Structure 1
Amino acid sequence: MPMCSWFREPATAKTLAGFGIHRIGDLAAIPPGTLARILGAKTSRLLFERAHGHDPRPVTPEAAPKSTSASYDFERDELDPTAHRRALLELTERLGLKLRTSRQVASGLALTVTYADGSTTQRSRTLPEPTAHTAAFTTAAYDLYARLGLQRARVRTFALRAEQLTDAEHAVQQLAFDPGDEKRRRIEQAADRARARFGELAVRPGALAEPTEP
């Protein structure tokens, strides 16, 4: 590997090049004493170790994303509130599945609406508790939509963003005593298993089913 693609100190690289050391293999072949006379004890020791693959620095994994989003583009600027809500349902289905698959939960939800003239409006809200439950996202998304009062607005795009993401195992959730909620979560888990095996479209809400020809 060329030295320039591995080492980012131009002055030191130039000094090494003056001695015919252009590649990592060249550097690794230089005796430590000779390298010390060229670069000094501290720098030579560091480069000698790196050239031989010794790097004690801990590996820091990339930080998990703090948000994730999904968008829905209408085929034409859409005025129908039923079509609007159907699009929002599809987005919450996608977000919920994505977070559950990655074992994350969100504490906030933001809705961005792009209109026919290209202008946008955004609303956001904090969720009652961290969640990846599709039903919770849908309730929040419908509430954000209702607050915008889009009865006569032609919508071009909806974008829904789950915010303040954390690992699901670290999230504190309230105990639910609603049998209906517990049943919905079990159904959701079963649907997720089916999607993992047969694809994301294996299970969809009836409201998202394609209409059949009479």
Structure 2
Amino acid sequence: MRLRQGEGLAELMEVIERFTPLAQSLAPSAAVAQVGGALRLFGVGPVGLAQRLRLQAAALYGLGTVVGIGPSWSVAAMASSRTGSGGVLHVPVSDTADFLGPLPIGELYGIRRAQATALRSLGVLTIGQLAVLPGATVLRILGRPGRALQERARGVDHRMVVPGRAAETVSVRADFAVDVLDGFEVRSAALRLAAELGARLRAGERAARSVTVVVRMADRTEVSKARTLAAPSAHTDDLRRAVYGVLDGFGLQRARIRRLTLVAEAVDGGLAHTQLTLDGAREARLRVEPVIDRLNDRYGPGTVGPAAALA
């Protein structure tokens, strides 16, 4: 279940938990739930239950939502992005192969851009083509992560719903005065937000495990994608690279952008570690961050920051 506008996750979880306790929050704007017990309790089918959830979310909190229903986590997630105007798409077990098969390989849930590129270069253009490849071939192309991706291409996802509160998040956003194309202005805003996000994480002695980039278009539609960092970090440079990587993957050259939001899944800063490298420029940036933080604390946020972000 996803929010159309990306805000109100806590309220969405309250609605879902009225129907089932087996619900897990997926920051910043989605949740996954197991509803087998709820179907029996309320005596409705999957689509009927989804419609009740959407109705209560709208009536109680004014939330616009879409719901994907499927035999596994990943199938439901992909269905939720293809609900159309009805807001609900149910993919039964018997229809899973027909649903997944024609979809472009880049739309497989959890696949990275580099992995999709590697598959396309070898002629694997659809999810269905990945599903029927020999396992040894997938292993040779994608390595060990390829096994899980091929299982998802077949509609199999072994992840379990873990009930509980949403992970702690820290978010920042920029609203553009006029709709803009992805270019210098968007990248400058992304850099400025990455610097602000890093400063807020460091101030709270937190680090980002992952960063989600949410882009709102001129027509009020949104696209979002999360990137997990190699190791938890609160360094602006690490956050910037993750954000730029997601933006590059969106391919938004012709899209008119209205808002850019960054959401960090925050963990204890003690989990972060700084690995010494031979990159002198990076080491210099890491050493200067505490100085920048102190200056901004004293003279106001944004007083000192990356030059490209201040342009």
Relative to the length of structure 2, the TM-score reads: 0.45
Q: CA deviation at 1:208?
A: 2.8
Q: Does 1:100 align with 2:198?
A: no
Contact 2:233 2:273 in 1 (8 A): no
* Equivalent in the alignment of 1:207: 308
CA distance in 2, matches of 1:100, 1:141: 18
Aligned length: 147
Aligned positions of 1:79-90 closer than 5 A: 79-90=181-192
Q: CA deviation at 1:171?
A: 3.4
**Equivalent in 245, 249, 266 of residue 147 of structure 1:** 249
CA distance in 2, matches of 1:65, 1:196: 27
- Structure 2: any 5+ residue segments left out of the alignment? 1-164
CA distance in 1, matches of 2:197, 2:251: 24
* Cα shift readout 1:42-71 (whole Å, capped 9, x = no counterpart): xxxxxxxxxxxxxxxxxxxxx996111111
- Secondary structure of the residue aligned to 1:200 is coil
Q: CA deviation at 1:166?
A: 1.5
* Cα shift readout 1:113-148 (whole Å, capped 9, x = no counterpart): 110111110111110110000011111111100100
* Cα shift readout 1:64-100 (whole Å, capped 9, x = no counterpart): 9611111111001112511110111111011000001
Q: Does 1:187 align with 2:292?
A: no
CA distance in 2, matches of 1:65, 1:192: 25
Q: CA deviation at 1:209?
A: 2.8
**Equivalent in 116, 119, 122 of residue 221 of structure 2:** 119
- Secondary structure of the residue aligned to 2:231 is strand
Relative to the length of structure 1, the TM-score reads: 0.64
Decide which structure has the larger Cα Rg and report it.
1
CA distance in 1, matches of 2:182, 2:268: 37
- Secondary structure of the residue aligned to 1:182 is helix
Higher RCO (C-alpha under 8 Å, 6+ residues apart): 1
- Secondary structure of the residue aligned to 1:204 is coil
Distance 1:180 1:208, change over 3 A: closer
Distance 1:174 1:186, change over 3 A: closer
CA distance in 2, matches of 1:173, 1:203: 23
- Secondary structure of the residue aligned to 2:302 is helix
Q: Does 1:176 align with 2:277?
A: yes
- Calculate the aligned-residue CA RMSD, in Å: 1.9
CA distance in 1, matches of 2:166, 2:204: 10
Contact 1:105 1:131 in 2 (8 A): yes
